[in-house]
């Protein structure tokens, strides 16, 4: 079970970032033994958040596919790994909306997998009424040319674009339907034995009221939390709610 906090472009100062991180750090270790909590702050805060004895994991919100060289403004996987980062969010709709292409996502994904960073590959439809086809096409493009043996560390984030930041989470029944379609597609791409190894997370206006239902009824293996991850009390409630006793 995994709960990922996507802070996006927040907070505005290092002091606030440390405060937010420390508030999550107070989660009891016994709870963190049952849920993996991954904090994905902006790049600039990654090296200042002290993981020591926290039981938390760090993730980045993006990465570049080259390791070094003349690429102004880019952050490589090796740089992230050097800071103790374990996860990276890739293909988030907010990055796609600024021009990221399927082929760029594919290159980033290959690099992250090759270098041992765990990618959380985000896919999701723009319209609530769409079928699952655009989601599966994003998935197909992202994993194109990747061998099954490389997939051990990948996670999929189902993030319906219309639900993100809207206060209007996806109906659990729809999330479940998409989860089944993703499992089926992975089986088609990589063979039946791969299906159960790849966790699927739900993201899009998750709050503490609905969080657990995605796990219990929606068959998700975790959650991606944006807005609510900036509110320590609410985020802690979400984490605690998904611990299935
Ligand atoms: P939200 O964001 O929880 O604010 O909707 C989720 C995400 O974009 O990962």
Lining residues, ligand 1, CB within 6 Å = 6, 159, 164-165, 203-206, 224-228
Name the 3-class secondary structure at 6: strand
Q: Which of 111, 98, 26 is nearest to 60 (CA)?
A: 111
**Which pLDDT does position 52 carry in this prediction?**
87
192-220 pLDDT, tens per residue?
Answer: 777 568 999 999 999 999 999 999 999 99
* Residue whose CA lies nearest to ligand 1 atom number 7: 226
Query: What's the CA gap between 95 and 90, in Å, rounded?
Result: 8
Identify the bridge partners of residue 174 per DSSP, sorted by sequence position: none
**Which pLDDT does position 130 carry in this prediction?**
81
Is residue 51 within 8 A of residue 17, CB to CB? The reply is: no
**Which pLDDT does position 12 carry in this prediction?**
98
Is residue 118 within 8 A of residue 96, CB to CB? The reply is: no
* Helix or strand holding residue 244 (H, E): none
**Which pLDDT does position 23 carry in this prediction?**
92
**Which pLDDT does position 129 carry in this prediction?**
83
Which atom from ligand 1 is nearest to the alpha carbon of 122? 9
Is residue 186 within 8 A of residue 198, CB to CB? The reply is: yes
Ligand 1 centroid distance, CA of 167 (Å): 9
Instruction: At 130, give phi and psi (nearest 5°).
Output: -65, 160
**Which pLDDT does position 31 carry in this prediction?**
82
Residues 6+ apart with CB under 8 A from 226: 6, 8, 164, 165, 203, 205, 206
**Which pLDDT does position 196 carry in this prediction?**
65
Report, as ranges of residue numbers, the positions in the chain whose pLDDT lies below 70.
Answer: 195-196, 245
What tokens does 162 get? 């219309």
């Amino acid at each position: 079970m995994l709960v990922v906090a996507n802070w996006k472009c927040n907070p505005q100062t290092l002091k606030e970032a440390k405060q937010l991180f420390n508030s999550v750090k107070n989660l009891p270790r016994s709870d963190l033994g049952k849920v993996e909590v991954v904090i994905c702050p902006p790049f600039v805060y990654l090296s200042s958040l002290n993981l020591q004895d926290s039981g938390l994991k760090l993730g980045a919100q993006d990465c570049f596919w080259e390791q070094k060289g003349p690429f102004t403004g880019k952050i490589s996987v090796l740089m992230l790994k050097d800071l103790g980062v374990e996860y990276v969010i890739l293909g988030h709709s907010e990055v796609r909306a600024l021009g990221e292409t399927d082929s760029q996502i594919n290159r980033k994904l290959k690099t992250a997998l090759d270098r041992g960073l765990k990618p959380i590959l985000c896919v999701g439809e723009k319209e609530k009424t769409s079928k699952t086809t655009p989601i599966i096409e994003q998935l197909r493009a992202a994993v194109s040319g990747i061998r099954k043996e490389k997939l051990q560390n990948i996670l999929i984030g189902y993030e319906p674009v219309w639900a993100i930041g809207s206060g209007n989470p996806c109906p659990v029944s729809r999330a479940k339907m998409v989860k089944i379609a993703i499992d089926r597609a992975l089986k088609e791409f990589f063979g039946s034995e791969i299906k159960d190894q790849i966790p699927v997370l739900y993201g899009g206006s998750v709050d503490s009221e609905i969080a657990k239902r995605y796990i219990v009824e929606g068959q998700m293996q975790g959650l991606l939390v944006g807005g609510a991850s900036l509110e320590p009390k609410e985020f802690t409630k979400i984490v605690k709610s998904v611990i299935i006793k």
